Amino acid sequence: MRSLPPWIVKCNSLADRYRLWAIGDVHLYNRACIVSELDALIDEIRGDPHSLWIGLGDMADCISPYDPRFDAQEVAPEKRSNFFQKLGRSIIQDLTEKFAPIKGQCVGLLRGNHESKYESHTDQAIMEDVCENLGVRYCDYCCAFDLVFAAKKASESFKLWAHHGAGGATTTGGKINKLKKAMTEVFDADIYLMGHCHEQLDLSLVNLYQDERGVIRQRKKQGVVTGAYLATYHSGTSGYGEQKLYSPVSLGSVAVTIVPGTRRLGVEKR
């Protein structure tokens, strides 16, 4: 787990409502990646000064011909020449260009299992290079940091934990249980972000505690499974999701909504 310095958000009022978008499992370079959905969200974030975002990994498919998972039919046709000749460099360039319009609103980028598998067989650190190009923080596979909203006379801080995700759960219950385990057994935070499961899910938990005056109070934890942009079923190809008879998933990202002044946390799905 990578421990990072606090991320400071300067705000005019703690009563404003912010959205922290978790963008992950894009799988760029796969022909079933619905790029138009991603582009629409990027435009929305760019036009909203109260939107932040974090990358949750698997931003590109990164399955080279040397990978046992490789299937030439799943490569996006417009990416074939780059894919077979200069995959790593092309992914770095394309991700840099894709997210450059919203780099100033990015709190960091994680790597996922696809980037990790590719990097283990090459000398390219894809996500670290993308972070360097964009001038944003590299968050490794898992990270924790404080998200601090600072107004002129007051501030509020939220502990954030993010992990690309792991495991092969395919049922909604299995995916939620992965998230619940992180929220109850792995790390103590206010906001939990987890990808990999290719679905938009959320879970709210409440912890009870005793304050310094002996009063019993409650503290809300908000967790989300962050969605994906890889269609399970796509015209023109029978990808691994279709071959394994996975259920179709709702494409897009999930945002944790935050009102710092009231510490109100919620969820918005796009």
Determine contact, residues 254/224, Cβ cutoff 8 Å. Answer: yes
Helix (H, G, I), strand (E, B) or coil at 67: coil
Pairing of strands 155-163, 191-194: parallel
Task: Give the chain's end-to-end CA distance (angstroms, integer).
Answer: 28
Q: How confident is the model at residue 172 (pLDDT cuts 50, 70, 90)?
A: confident
Span 86-115, average pLDDT:
93
Span 41-54, average pLDDT:
98
Contacts of 19 (CB under 8 A, 6+ apart): 48, 50, 51, 52, 255, 256, 257, 258, 268
Other residues' Cβ atoms within 10 Å of the Cβ of residue 144: 17
Element (H, E) at 181: helix 172-181
> Mean pLDDT over all residues of the chain?
89
Least confidently predicted of 8-17, 215-224, 234-243: 234-243
**CATH number, domain containing residue 62:** 3.60.21
Other residues' Cβ atoms within 10 Å of the Cβ of residue 28: 21
Q: How confident is the model at residue 253 (pLDDT cuts 50, 70, 90)?
A: very high
Distance CA 30, CA 72 (A): 10
Domain holding 170, by residue range, is 2-269
Question: Which comes out higher in pLDDT, residue 124 or 147?
Answer: 147
Q: How confident is the model at residue 193 (pLDDT cuts 50, 70, 90)?
A: very high
CA nearest neighbour of 263 among 49, 51, 17: 17
Task: Return left, alpha or beta for 67; rule: phi > 0 is left, psi -120 to 50 is alpha, else beta.
Answer: beta
pLDDT at 80: 57
Least confidently predicted of 114-128, 137-151, 197-211, 231-245: 231-245
pTM equals: 0.90
Number of domains comprising the chain = 1
Pairing of strands 106-109, 51-55: parallel
Query: What is the secondary structure of 77-136 as a DSSP string?
Result: GGGHHHHHHHHHHHHHHHHHHHHGGGGGGEEEE---HHHHHHHTTSS--HHHHHHHHHT-
